[in-house]
């Protein structure tokens, strides 16, 4: 009887230890919050905002003041930043949604750049619309990155 009980307790203890080792592994559904990426998101968002505001306030459509070539270098610099952001997001596991948001931003950036190049000018209205679009997309990206902090914070 004593031996049976000992064996029973030993089995239970083994089961508990095995369970404990499994439970001690944490569930991971999203990539951890990355402060470096968050800072790059903020910097790139500010750069794009400054780009469109400078174009709106500092130039006019008259006399080819908004010719594509005048802004080409800035377009390239910002595209480089967006590419870098995309790569950083893509290489992280469990980060497909953040990478997709970044892909969408890059896709629209290239589209609006191509439109500017095609028409070789940009009206005040379209500058405002592009600026608003990127502000809103970057807000989504910032909210997503900030949201990851919820998972990182230890349970109360």
Partner 1 sequence: MSTTEPQLSEFNIDDILDGMVNAIKGVVKDNWEEVKSVTNEFLNRRKARLELLAELTLTGDLPLEKLQSRLEDEKLILEAELHAIAIISKAIAQKAANAALDVLYKAIKGIIDVVL
Given the rule CB under 8 A, which residues bind partner 1? 1-2, 5, 9, 12-13, 16-17, 19-20, 23-24, 26-30, 97-98, 100-101, 104-105, 107-108, 111, 123-126, 128-129, 132-133, 136-137, 139-141, 143-144, 147-151, 153, 155-156
CB of 67 or CB of 131, closer to partner 1: 131
CB of 1 or CB of 73, closer to partner 1: 1
Q: Which of 60, 77, 63, 140 is nearest to 113 (CA)?
A: 77
Cα separation, 17 vs 92, in Å, equals 32
- String of DSSP letters for 7-39: HHHHHHHHHHHHHHHHHTSPP--SPPP-HHHHH
CB of 4 or CB of 73, closer to partner 1: 4
């Amino acid at each position: 009887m004593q031996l049976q009980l000992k064996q029973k307790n030993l089995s239970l203890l083994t089961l508990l230890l095995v369970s404990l080792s499994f439970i001690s592994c944490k569930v991971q559904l999203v990539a951890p919050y990355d402060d470096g990426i968050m800072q790059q998101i903020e910097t790139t968002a500010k750069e794009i905002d400054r780009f469109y505001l400078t174009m709106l306030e500092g130039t006019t459509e008259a006399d080819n003041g908004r010719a594509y070539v005048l802004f080409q270098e800035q377009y390239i610099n910002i595209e480089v930043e967006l590419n870098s952001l995309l790569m950083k997001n893509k290489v992280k596991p469990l980060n497909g949604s953040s990478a997709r948001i970044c892909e969408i931003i890059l896709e629209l950036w290239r589209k609006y750049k191509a439109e500017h190049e095609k028409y070789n000018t940009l009206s005040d209205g379209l500058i405002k619309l592009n600026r608003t679009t990127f502000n809103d997309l970057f807000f989504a990206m910032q909210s997503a990155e900030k949201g990851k902090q919820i998972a990182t914070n230890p349970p109360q």
